[in-house]
Amino acid sequence: MTDTATKAPVQGPARARDREATAERILAAVGEVLARDGFVKLGVNAIARQAGVDKVLIYRYFGGLDELLRAWGDSGRFWPRVQELLGNDPQGFLALPVEERFALFFERFIDALRERPLTIEIMAAEVAERNELTAILEAEREQWGEEAARTLAAREWAALPWLPGVTMLLVAGVQYLLVRSRKIRVFGGIDLHTDAGWEQLKASVREMSRRLLGSHTAS
């Protein structure tokens, strides 16, 4: 009786930690399978094998493949959350002039994607594959874009009708160059395999932001 009473309180937290660790392995396995095999071969069995778990746990913890992919997309593993790009001082970031916010956001966006090599592989796979699973991640990014716009420059977005298009071109351009960098080193004279090359691109975005947005202030 005494031994059982002593051990019982420990089992609950231990089980919770085990469940959390298993869920983390499953989420990590999603990206690994996607990067290696693409969307066509993504399935519960493949993810379970990669994670080293029984596939029953995927259904128990996440509900199914679609729900798992949504959870993975929302976890920040695939795409950087807006809060991540705001940094450790969100209020300080949002207090910056719009041209500074815009430039700094893109600098952090570039860094965040470069730190996610699996994401770059998955973006490359998306170019060749289109199905209900790719649509889930596309929807996640559309929501991300709406949140980023509201957070980054909501008033400027409404006042400057050309700004959404320019932002979309920059977001798409960063993704394209990262995908291209998998197979080529130099694009347009810029070395995409070096920090210096990407710093050059960041400097270009900063100068563009200064020239386009420097004369505009939120009313």
Residue type, 133: L
- Residue 1 pLDDT greater than 70, yes or no: no
Let me know whether 181 and 94 are in one domain: yes
Domain-embedded: residue 45: yes
Q: Which residues contact 74 (CB under 8 A, 6 or more apart)?
A: 140
Q: Kindly state the average pLDDT of the residues 58-83.
A: 91
- Residue 50 pLDDT greater than 60, yes or no: yes
Burial class (CB in 10 A: 0-12, 13-18, 19+), 55: middle
Domain-embedded: residue 17: yes
Domain-embedded: residue 196: yes
Q: What is the pLDDT of residue 2?
A: 44
Q: What is the pLDDT of residue 173?
A: 96
Q: Which residues contact 84 (CB under 8 A, 6 or more apart)?
A: 76, 108, 112
Domain-embedded: residue 218: no
The residue assigned the tokens 């869920």 is 23
Q: What is the pLDDT of residue 158?
A: 84
What are the pLDDT digits (tens) for 149-183?
888 888 888 889 999 999 999 999 999 999 999 99
CATH code, domain with 23: 1.10.10.60
Q: What is the pLDDT of residue 59?
A: 95
Range of the domain at 59: 2-74
- Residue 219 pLDDT greater than 60, yes or no: no
Let me know whether 67 and 171 are in one domain: no
Task: Report yes or no: 197 and 133 within 8 Å, Cβ to Cβ.
Answer: no
Q: What is the pLDDT of residue 118?
A: 86
Let me know whether 205 and 101 are in one domain: yes
Distances (CA, A) of 198 to 27, 32, 176: 29, 26, 13
Our count of domains for the chain comes to: 2
Query: What distance in Å separates the CA atoms of residue 13 and residue 32, rounded to the nearest whole number?
Result: 29
- Residue 195 pLDDT greater than 50, yes or no: yes
What are the pLDDT digits (tens) for 84-135?
999 999 999 999 999 999 999 999 999 999 999 988 988 888 888 887 888 8
| Rounded percentage of the chain residues whose pLDDT exceeds 70 | 91
Q: Which residues contact 36 (CB under 8 A, 6 or more apart)?
A: 121
Q: What is the pLDDT of residue 133?
A: 82
Let me know whether 119 and 44 are in one domain: no
Q: What is the pLDDT of residue 136?
A: 85
Tell whether pTM > 0.75: yes
Query: What distance in Å separates the CA atoms of residue 128 and residue 76, rounded to the nearest whole number?
Result: 23
